[in-house]
Amino acid sequence: MSNLIVVTNISKKYPLINTASNRLRSLLSLLFRKSNRTGITVLKDINLKIKKGESLAIIGKNGAGKSTLLKIISGVINPSSGNVTVHGTIGALLELGSGFHPEYTGRENLKMSAALAGMDDKYLKENLDKMIAFADIGEYIDHPVKNYSSGMVVRLGFSVVTVTNPDLLITDEVLAVGDADFQRKCISWIDSYLKNGGTLLLVSHSIYHVQKMCQNAIWLENGKIKKQGNAYAISQEYQSYHEKKKDGVKVSGDKDSSNYHVMSIKLLNDRNDEISLIQTNETLTIKVQLFSPDNRPPGLTLGIIRKDIPVYGTISDNHNANPKQIKDQVFEYTIKYKKMKLLPSDYEFKAHAMDPECLRLMDEESIDFRVHSKSTDLGVVILDTEWS
């Protein structure tokens, strides 16, 4: 695959403007085109290649430099040093409302955005209705954008991308704003876009979306690339790194009855007794009940954790599993772990309710259990070995 984007030694420093003297110094540096030695370094020596057809995630905590890097790649801002080489068209969904005129209607903004993206009049006329249909904001399409909610602005911006079909799509947490139905529509479109050879650059705090949608990932820390490689491996390492920093306090709140959520988790032995203690090599059955507001079978992600260290996790979608509907809006998954080979310790089952498409994690519940054993082996699990 050829390189679509090449980022070479990119650095970005923002001038200090917290005092009058710093503001004057920064202004003089701009006027006389001199480098300002004072300032805040947001990115430092970033080197990156994005190949055509690749899906790349950028992860990192707030302030790591993710959004700044996206803005430099998309041409919104210039780097302080280094350069970016682009071989193709870019569609960027960065900040809500960017590029839209607040006094113009949604329809007028669609036309303007399409024209700026290089769409000719004929192509615009053929595709305007498609954009309006994708945005699906009803009569608001002919109202000024200044009256739109943030979710409606996202709908408008994304609808332009679906028709311009850029070589590279850049999105910065924009899907976190739209409602559930629109998120599903966007993710479905992105899946199709990638299958047809599109290239994706995604910033997200959702590890699940990173693993689901991206092949590779880079981990930014304090403006530098800390790690890069396979999306699953990098995101798992990132998640584990930050989980170890937490104190492990569980937070339980009221459930949102308008959305998919976990209602209950039960651990059962072979006699169908509810338990919290098992022996190594015993069979354990777990039953998870989920609420579905629209009576569609929800998905489930289930994981075992020991002291914030992930032991095993899986998703119902990987097993083609269909939950049993036990009453209106309530579904139940039954999962059997045959001869559980966990070594003695305290563990935790974590269950995440998902939407029926298994694209979004909706909420989380957990249950503690303990494993006893006469084994003197060390570690987390017993592995089948043959000694000779």
The reported pLDDT for the residue numbered 256 is: 64
The reported pLDDT for the residue numbered 24 is: 58
User: What stretches of the chain show up as alpha helix (H) in DSSP?
Assistant: 20-31, 66-74, 106-116, 121-135, 150-164, 180-195, 207-213, 231-243
The reported pLDDT for the residue numbered 97 is: 59
State the pTM of this model.
Answer: 0.63
The reported pLDDT for the residue numbered 247 is: 43
Residue-wise over 218-257: b if at least 16 C-beta within 10 A, else e? bbbeebbbbebeebbebbbebbeeeeeeeeeeeeeeeeee
The reported pLDDT for the residue numbered 141 is: 94
| Structural domains of the chain, with CATH | 55-78+88-243 (3.40.50.300), 261-372 (2.60.40.2550)
The reported pLDDT for the residue numbered 333 is: 96
The reported pLDDT for the residue numbered 236 is: 77
The reported pLDDT for the residue numbered 22 is: 57
Do 350 and 366 meet the contact criterion of CB atoms below 8 Å apart? yes
Structure tokens at 4: 């679509």
Structure tokens at 258: 């308008």
Do 81 and 11 meet the contact criterion of CB atoms below 8 Å apart? yes
Residue with tokens 């995101």: 235
The reported pLDDT for the residue numbered 120 is: 84
The reported pLDDT for the residue numbered 69 is: 92
Where does residue 272 rank: exposed (0-12), middle (13-18), buried (19+ CB within 10 A)?
exposed
Q: How far is CA 216 from CA 1, 57, 143, 176, 227, in A?
A: 14, 6, 40, 21, 11
Strands of the sheet containing 284-291, edge to edge, are: 261-268, 284-291, 330-337, 324-327
CA 46 to CA 223: how far, in whole Å?
Answer: 8
Q: Name the CA dihedral angle for 209, 214, 217, 220, rounded to a multiple of 10 degrees.
A: -40
- Per-residue pLDDT tens, the chain, 388 aa: give them: 588 999 999 999 876 555 565 555 655 565 655 555 556 788 999 999 999 999 999 999 888 889 889 989 988 888 989 999 999 888 887 765 567 888 999 999 999 888 887 788 888 889 999 999 999 999 999 999 989 887 888 888 888 888 888 899 998 766 665 667 787 888 888 889 999 999 999 998 887 788 888 999 999 998 999 999 988 888 878 877 776 554 443 334 456 667 889 999 999 998 888 998 888 999 999 999 999 988 999 999 999 998 778 899 999 999 989 999 999 999 999 999 998 999 988 899 999 999 888 877 888 899 999 898 888 788 888 888 888 8
The reported pLDDT for the residue numbered 264 is: 92
CA 113 to CA 122: how far, in whole Å?
Answer: 15
The reported pLDDT for the residue numbered 255 is: 65
Do 276 and 267 meet the contact criterion of CB atoms below 8 Å apart? yes
The reported pLDDT for the residue numbered 56 is: 94
